Amino acid sequence: MVTVRAPATSANLGSGFDVFGVAFDRPADVVTVERARETTIEVTGVGSEYIPSDPAKNTAGVVASALDAPAHIAIDKGVRPSSGLGSSAASAAATAVALNELYDRNLSDHELVRVAAEGEAAVSGTAHADNVAPAILGGFTVVRDGGVESVDASIPLVAVLPDIVVSTRDARRVVPETLSMDDMVETVGSAATLTIGMHRNDPELVGQGMRESVVTPARAALIQGYDRAVDAACAAGATGATVSGAGPAILAVTHRGDQRDVAGAMLDAFEAEGIDARAYTSTIGNGATVF
Ligand code: HSE
């Protein structure tokens, strides 16, 4: 029996659409695998009622099939599904790492990112590795066609998850297909600034580097209370805030010591909109961990 914890993650970070990701130190999914003749899945925890236990429809089941590693897979969800916090990625990542260990497959972390992304693709229809990469490798990750790079960073984060539903399909559909040269220059400048900020552990640069004017506003329009929450976060000391993944969670970067104020301000903003929300304070954390 092997148990693995894989964390929530945030993809995009504004300027790094489909490229950047970070691992949180919490919340996390915890997955326990045990050898079996055929794969079965049991899901407990937050939002488990929305997650299919059919192995063909569950990211963990698809990962088991890709690794030819049948198992009983027990998933304890800490990351709410459809949150923009990498819920299915956390399950896929934890399962890939756990089965690699259970069956002595000796795959590298980078190979496991590919396998976990296959699991995500089979279930969600989109093969983005920008959540599974940080869920496995930890830190700040950059995913491109040629592979994935990661670097450790210590940046305080606040994620606020409003109790609203944004369909992943809508969040993808509203992404513009073209952008102007001005927007491209702004995005490249922001992405480069954010990357330097991660290397220097500088929340100011990371927050500035999240600015992006193409995908973010299109998706923000799907999240009631977004502008109010972002304004409140910045007034309370956040260095930047943006849509986390496909939403509806909002990710804010802060200086150390400002996290509680930023979280409180964002929660108040959603309350003023009549929307329940929950906040997670974290720093950029480690990837999947075998117990
Ligand atoms: N980069 C992806 C998106 C992450 O924003 O759609 C969610 O799968």
Would you identify the CATH topology of the domain 156-283? Alpha-Beta Plaits (3.30.70)
For helices 259-272 and 226-235, give the axis angle rounded to 10 degrees. Answer: 150
How far, in Å, is the centroid of ligand 1 from the Cα of 119? 15
d(CA 21, CA 27): 16
Does the pTM surpass 0.75? The reply is yes
| Rg over CA atoms, the chain | 18
- Residue whose CA lies nearest to ligand 1 atom number 6: 246
pLDDT of 8 over the 80 cut? yes
What is the 8-class DSSP label of residue 20? E
d(CA 54, CA 88): 14
pLDDT of 128 over the 70 cut? yes
Pairing of strands 71-77, 20-35: antiparallel
Query: What would the pLDDT profile of 146-179 be if each residue is shown by its tens digit?
Result: 789 999 999 999 999 999 998 888 899 999 999 9
d(CA 107, CA 101): 9
Contact 112, 100 (CB under 8 A): yes
Query: Which of 20, 22, 85, 131 to mutate for ligand 1's pocket (most ligand atoms within 8 Å of CB)?
Result: 131
Question: Of all residues in the chain, what percent carry a pLDDT higher than 90?
Answer: 92
- Residue whose CA lies nearest to ligand 1 atom number 4: 245
Segment 74-85 shows an average pLDDT of 96
- The per-residue pLDDT of the chain, averaged, comes to 96
Atom of ligand 1 nearest to the CA of 175: 6
pLDDT reported for residue 146: 76
What confidence category does residue 40 fall into, taking pLDDT thresholds of 50, 70 and 90? very high
d(CA 10, CA 13): 7
pLDDT reported for residue 29: 98
Segment 246-261 shows an average pLDDT of 97
pLDDT reported for residue 127: 66
Lowest pLDDT segment from 17-31, 52-66, 120-134, 192-206: 120-134
pLDDT reported for residue 105: 95
Would you identify the CATH topology of the domain 2-151? Ribosomal Protein S5; domain 2 (3.30.230)
76 lines ligand 1 (CB under 6 A): no
- Residue whose CA lies nearest to ligand 1 atom number 8: 128
Token pair recorded at residue 215: 């995908």
Helix (H, G, I), strand (E, B) or coil at 221: coil
Atom of ligand 1 nearest to the CA of 17: 1
Query: What would the pLDDT profile of 173-232 be if each residue is shown by its tens digit?
Result: 999 999 999 999 999 999 999 999 999 999 999 999 999 999 999 999 999 999 999 999
pLDDT of 132 over the 90 cut? yes
Residue ranges of the chain assigned to CATH 3.30.230.10: 2-151
246 lines ligand 1 (CB under 6 A): yes
Token pair recorded at residue 225: 């209370």
pLDDT of 120 over the 90 cut? no
